[in-house]
Amino acid sequence: MNFYDRLVKQTEAARQELYTVPQLADGMQGNISKETYIAYLTEAYHHVSHTVPFLMTMGAKIPQSKKWMHKAIIEYQEEEVGHEEWILNDIEAAGGDKEATRNATPNLETQVLIAYNYDYIMRKNPVGFFGMVFMLESTSTQIANQGADAVKDKLGLPKKAFSYLYSHGELDISHMKFFKETVNKITDPEDQAAIIEVAQNTFRLFANVFRAIPHAGAMKDAA
């Protein structure tokens, strides 16, 4: 079994737990309010705004013995620049206040997701950040287009309110092919273990980000 397939297998339980979170499960069916969609975009803005800084920090911490990874890191950076602005434009198109979002404090759960990744890169193993990349890209290929279609149809919002989701549904299919090729070149057992650890943990942390989003259906289920 190649490393990518092992990564998929060993994160399956955490991935399935994420997909059971009511905010996400209902969103896939379009059964969320506009307020919930905007709240989701708000938290997405705050963690996506760190993607390029994450990658820059990772690249700076990679040891010279593994500098071949720099090319992949740079390619990811170039692809991710400005995506947080797409989210702000979606918020505005959905009737939200994008400047209020830009200046808002993210939920604690979102702050924990961000802090965990910086801490892991700086204190443990920068290669582990590929686990966060895997979590985000594998998730978006599964849910982005379907969720965007469902929410757009149920809420009657314009397609321009879903540019982030639609673009990632398309982009991350090619990204996953590149990601698979990249991580299959990683043979160091410690690096492999770090990627799996970060992926498992960020699936759990991302589930918490969704759980913290206000959602009438989720609150009803909890009651």
Range(s) of the domain holding residue 20: 3-222
Q: Judge residue 204's burial from the number of C-beta atoms within 10 Å of its C-beta, 0-12 exposed, 13-18 middle, 19 or more buried.
A: middle
The count of domains in the chain is 1
pLDDT reported for residue 168: 67
Reported as a single tens digit per residue, the pLDDT across 170-204 is 555 667 788 899 999 999 999 999 999 999 999 99
- Residue 94: phi, psi to the nearest 5? -90, 0
Reported as a single tens digit per residue, the pLDDT across 153-166 is 999 999 999 988 88
Helix (H, G, I), strand (E, B) or coil at 152: helix
pLDDT reported for residue 171: 54
Alpha helices for the chain (secondary structure H)? 3-10, 12-19, 22-28, 34-48, 51-61, 69-80, 83-93, 98-103, 108-119, 130-155, 163-183, 189-211, 216-222
The CATH number of whichever domain residue 27 belongs to comes to: 1.20.910.10
For the chain, percent of residues with pLDDT exceeding 90: 75
Taken in order 81, 16, 221, 33, the sign of the CA dihedral is positive
Top pLDDT among 148 and 129 is at 129
Mean pLDDT of 64-89: 90
Top pLDDT among 217 and 99 is at 99
- Mean per-residue pLDDT of the chain: 90
Q: Is the pTM of this model over 0.85?
A: yes
